Amino acid sequence: MTTSVLVLRSPQEVADTAAGALVDLLGEVLAVQDRARLALTGGSLGSRIWASVLAHPGHAEVDWSRVALWWGDERWLPAGDPDRNDTQNDAAGLSRLPLDPATVHRVAGPEAVSSAQEAATAYAQTIRADGGGEWDVVLLGMGPDAHIASLFPHHEAQRVTDAITVAVHDSPKPPPTRVSLTFEALRRSRSVFLLVAGADKASAVASALADDADPWDTPAAGVRGRIETVWFVDEAAASHLVHE
């Protein structure tokens, strides 16, 4: 299990480099498996990466019809709402990939189910039915408070250990109601890619990479890939790291 930190010059270079790594990894995975399983993220970089994937010449070699998608978290808003992570990912380029709509698994919104808990339960069923909750790649953005997915510092949603999804209420960042994968689920990935840019993230990056980091305070410290964890960070976000 390796953890590496790639320091890049700009947010664009973060998106481009992560997109290249994702395309390469999907090619490797699909060479030996029928299907690749990917959990996506919201945030500016979580969307920007899709334009970078489309611009990467290798994306045409990937058999996207064999890539199954979920989201690491979703804001519990109606389908198509511009503040949903999936809507933003689609607008940034995801919808232009030749995916199989049957394996693009979205979180049901309030127009379809009566509660975020119901959405979380249904979402868990889609995960169990296809792959059993094992990911090849989990993409994560990180907030300045070090939250990942919708697991926020000192929030009880972090404590859920008997489920792969959780309904999150009273999120400190709007909107207040969300559905998230739990740590239990996020940790079941071959690779975890964290996409982070901006000086406002510098302290959280340093905290998450510290040996004694506690996920309760710093959720980003709580997810590692089974094989690799790769931090794609720009120079501003890396500015509090101590170079050895």
Q: Which residues are near ligand 6PG by CB under 6 A?
A: 41-46, 73, 85, 141-143, 147, 150, 173
Q: How far is the CB of 201 from ligand 6PG (least distance, A)?
A: 7
Strand, coil or helix: 137: strand
Q: Which is nearer to ligand 6PG, 143 or 225 (CB)?
A: 143
In this structure, which amino acid lies at residue 198? Answer: G
Residues ≥6 apart with Cβ < 8 Å to 155: 168, 170, 171, 172
Residue with smallest beta-carbon separation from ligand 6PG:
43
Q: How far is the CB of 182 from ligand 6PG (least distance, A)?
A: 15
Q: Which is nearer to ligand 6PG, 30 or 236 (CB)?
A: 236
Count of beta carbons in the 10 Å neighbourhood of residue 28: 11
Q: How far is the CB of 149 from ligand 6PG (least distance, A)?
A: 7
Q: Which is nearer to ligand 6PG, 17 or 29 (CB)?
A: 17
Q: How far is the CB of 232 from ligand 6PG (least distance, A)?
A: 11
- Return d(Cα 231, Cα 217) in angstroms, integer: 19
Q: Which is nearer to ligand 6PG, 62 or 233 (CB)?
A: 233
Determine the distance from the C-alpha atom of residue 81 to the mean position of all C-alpha atoms in its chain, rounded to a whole number: 19
Q: Which is nearer to ligand 6PG, 29 or 234 (CB)?
A: 234
Largest CA distance in the chain: 52
Q: How far is the CB of 135 from ligand 6PG (least distance, A)?
A: 17
Residues ≥6 apart with Cβ < 8 Å to 222: 148, 151, 158, 183, 186, 187, 215
Q: How far is the CB of 121 from ligand 6PG (least distance, A)?
A: 20
> Would you say 34 and 130 are in contact if contact means Cβ atoms under 8 Å apart?
no
Residue 5 bridge partners (DSSP): 231
Strand, coil or helix: 3: strand
Q: Which is nearer to ligand 6PG, 85 or 165 (CB)?
A: 85
